[in-house]
């Protein structure tokens, strides 16, 4: 076999994603793309805000010498100053440029953090349902992902969390607003998690890092706000990107922020900077660092996602699909209408609807719909969801 046994194995674990993608292609070829309702991809559909395009135009019409060159591996100092000022303003804490590493999106940032923190065999707690890439990222850096169940409303189950938090654990990885559930962890949950982690740090005499993956922070609804983990636990690291809130998924730009009280803070910064370099990213794209530095308070038109959420959720709820209204991100995670969620996905496919089974997120019995799609996809799909409901609830 030409490729490694480990990669073959991991690819097998992810093979249902490929199978679904292929099924989508088959359906689109057969029925025409307009007659297939593809809710399977989390590709942010809202266009970047005007401020971003204006910043780009300014940059290319008034280029400064050296602006496309290599830079310190942590990123452009001025951009890191602006990011730290933005974080200081929003958290009420003090951040400086030496707490910020600019990265190739949140995905790049997570790999930088995990490479820096993990020794072989270190455990990383993740919470079901989880973003499936976590499994592969942790594996890449020699760690072992440990899946912890959540409550029936997908909040952190603090008892299960405390039980799972043994002396092997180095990283606790959370994602809020959550993909796939849309849940935002409340401040009280984070506070209690912080207390548990600090107790365990003392017991095991080691640092345990709370890492929050939060690229959907600004994609929230109904006045919900996302609490900062920095207030919950000193050894905190935020990983985020501009993929969703500025609609820049393809541009690969994000950052890692080290909590003001994280220990050893300087070493963490040096480690993340080194990992950014040796993972081959070298640095995050220069043009994007210049551009986002000028629109850190902007975001995509949230009205668009709000409208799509209502368009999908209201009719599905009326039909009898069961789910909690997402508080953030652009996903819906309803209960499957039959026990076997993979089988249920096939029922949806018969109506040309593409969705992802909960099994893919470590939580069978559910399915994920991304409402980051054109309005007409949602509108035209509704009678088909109704047909599936009628057929299975007979
Ligand atoms: C939970 C979560 N984390 C990380 C990422 C990766 O984001 P980025 O495009 O910024 O690498 C995604 C993208 O869908 C995501 O849903």
Q: Report phi then psi at 282, rounded to 5.
A: 70, -60
Compute the distance from residue 329 Cα to the ligand 1 centre, in Å: 11
Q: How far apart are CA 316 and CA 382, in angstroms?
A: 8
Residue 249, classified by CB atoms within 10 Å of its CB into exposed (0-12), middle (13-18) or buried (19+), is middle
pLDDT band at residue 33, thresholds of 50, 70 and 90? confident
Ordered DSSP codes for 121-152: T-EEEEESS--THHHHHHHHTT-EEEEE-B-T
- CA-nearest residue, atom 14 of ligand 1: 42
Quick one: which atom of ligand 1 is closest to the CA of 107? 11
Q: How far apart are CA 90 and CA 296, in angstroms?
A: 11
3-state secondary structure 31-89: HCHHHCEECCCCCCCCCCCHHHHHHHHHHHHCCCCCCCCCCCCCCCHHHHHHHHHHHHH
- pLDDT, mean of residues 374-381: 96
Q: How far apart are CA 261 and CA 258, in angstroms?
A: 8
pLDDT band at residue 394, thresholds of 50, 70 and 90? low
Helices (runs of H) and strands (runs of E) counted in the chain: 13, 12
Percent of the chain at pLDDT exceeding 90: 91
pLDDT one-digit tens code per residue, 46-58: 999 999 999 999 9
Q: How far apart are CA 239 and CA 62, in angstroms?
A: 31
Out of 36-45, 138-147, 320-329, which region has the weakest mean confidence (pLDDT)?
36-45
pLDDT one-digit tens code per residue, 8-30: 988 888 777 677 778 888 888 99
Compute the distance from residue 214 Cα to the ligand 1 centre, in Å: 8
Residue 206, classified by CB atoms within 10 Å of its CB into exposed (0-12), middle (13-18) or buried (19+), is exposed
Q: Which two tokens stand for residue 333?
A: 């995670």
Residues with CB under 6 A from ligand 1: 42, 105-107, 131, 175, 179, 213, 215, 241, 243, 249, 254
pLDDT one-digit tens code per residue, 159-186: 999 999 999 999 999 999 999 999 999 9
Residue 42 is predicted with a pLDDT of 86
Quick one: which atom of ligand 1 is closest to the CA of 329? 16
pLDDT one-digit tens code per residue, 219-269: 999 999 999 999 999 999 999 999 999 999 999 999 999 999 999 999 999
Residue 368 is predicted with a pLDDT of 97
- CA-nearest residue, atom 7 of ligand 1: 106
Residue 41 is predicted with a pLDDT of 87
Q: How far apart are CA 106 and CA 120, in angstroms?
A: 23
pLDDT one-digit tens code per residue, 55-99: 999 999 999 999 999 999 999 999 999 999 999 999 999 999 999
Compute the distance from residue 106 Cα to the ligand 1 centre, in Å: 6
Residue 13 is predicted with a pLDDT of 81
The residues, ordered by sequence, that sit 6+ positions from 130 with a Cβ below 8 Å of its Cβ are: 147, 175, 361, 362
Q: Which two tokens stand for residue 103?
A: 């990265």
Q: How far apart are CA 235 and CA 298, in angstroms?
A: 28
Compute the distance from residue 158 Cα to the ligand 1 centre, in Å: 25
pLDDT band at residue 384, thresholds of 50, 70 and 90? very high
Quick one: which atom of ligand 1 is closest to the CA of 242? 10
Ligand 1 pocket test: pick from 102, 113, 241, 248 the residue with the most ligand atoms within 8 Å of its Cβ: 241
Domains of the chain: 5-48+300-392 (3.90.1150.10), 50-292 (3.40.640.10)
Compute the distance from residue 78 Cα to the ligand 1 centre, in Å: 25
User: Crossing angle of helices 5-13/15-31, nearest 10°?
Assistant: 50
Residue 21 is predicted with a pLDDT of 76
Measured over the CA atoms of residue 273, residue 276, residue 281 and residue 284, the dihedral's sign is negative
More confident residue, 43 or 326: 326
Mean pLDDT computed over every residue of the chain: 96
3-state secondary structure of 203: helix
Q: How far apart are CA 255 and CA 59, in angstroms?
A: 21
Compute the distance from residue 180 Cα to the ligand 1 centre, in Å: 11
Over 90: is that where the pLDDT of 129 sits? yes
- pLDDT, mean of residues 313-339: 97
pLDDT one-digit tens code per residue, 349-358: 999 999 999 9
Compute the distance from residue 307 Cα to the ligand 1 centre, in Å: 22
């Amino acid at each position: 076999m030409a490729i490694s046994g480990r990669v073959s194995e991991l690819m097998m674990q992810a093979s249902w994603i490929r199978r679904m993608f292929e099924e989508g292609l088959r359906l689109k070829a057969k029925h025409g793309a307009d007659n297939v309702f593809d809710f399977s991809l989390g590709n942010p559909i809202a266009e970047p805000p005007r401020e971003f395009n204006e910043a780009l135009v300014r940059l290319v019409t008034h280029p400064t010498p050296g602006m496309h060159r290599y830079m310190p591996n942590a990123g452009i100092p001025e951009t890191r100053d602006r990011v730290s000022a933005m974080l200081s303003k929003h958290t009420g804490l003090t951040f400086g440029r030496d707490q910020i590493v600019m990265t190739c999106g949140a995905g790049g940032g997570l790999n930088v953090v995990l490479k820096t923190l993990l020794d072989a065999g270190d455990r990383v707690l993740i919470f079901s349902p989880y973003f499936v890439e976590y499994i592969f990222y942790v594996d890449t850096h020699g760690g072992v992902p440990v899946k912890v169940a959540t409550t029936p409303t997908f909040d952190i189950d603090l008892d299960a969390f405390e039980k799972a938090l043994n002396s092997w654990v180095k990283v606790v990885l959370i994602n809020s607003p959550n993909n796939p559930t849309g849940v935002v962890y409340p401040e009280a949950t984070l506070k209690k998690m912080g207390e548990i982690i600090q107790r365990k740090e003392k017991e095991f005499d080691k640092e345990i890092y709370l890492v929050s993956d939060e690229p959907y922070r600004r994609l929230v609804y109904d006045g919900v706000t996302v609490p900062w983990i920095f207030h919950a636990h000193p050894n905190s690291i935020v990983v985020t990107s501009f993929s969703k809130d500025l609609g820049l998924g393809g541009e690969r730009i994000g950052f890692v922020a080290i909590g003001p009280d994280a220990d050893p803070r300087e070493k963490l910064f040096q480690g993340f900077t080194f990992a950014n370099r040796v993972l081959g990213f070298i640095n995050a794209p220069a043009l994007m660092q210049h551009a986002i530095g000028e629109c850190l308070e902007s975001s995509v038109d949230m009205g668009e996602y709000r409208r799509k959420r209502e368009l999908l959720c209201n009719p599905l709820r009326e039909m009898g699909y069961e789910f909690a209204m997402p508080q953030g991100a652009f996903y819906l995670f309803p209960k499957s209408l039959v026990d076997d969620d993979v089988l249920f996905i096939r029922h949806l496919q018969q109506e040309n609807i593409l969705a992802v089974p909960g099994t893919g997120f470590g939580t069978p019995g559910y399915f994920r719909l991304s409402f980051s799609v054109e309005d007409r996809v949602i509108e035209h799909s509704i009678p088909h969801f109704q047909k599936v409901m009628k057929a299975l609830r007979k």
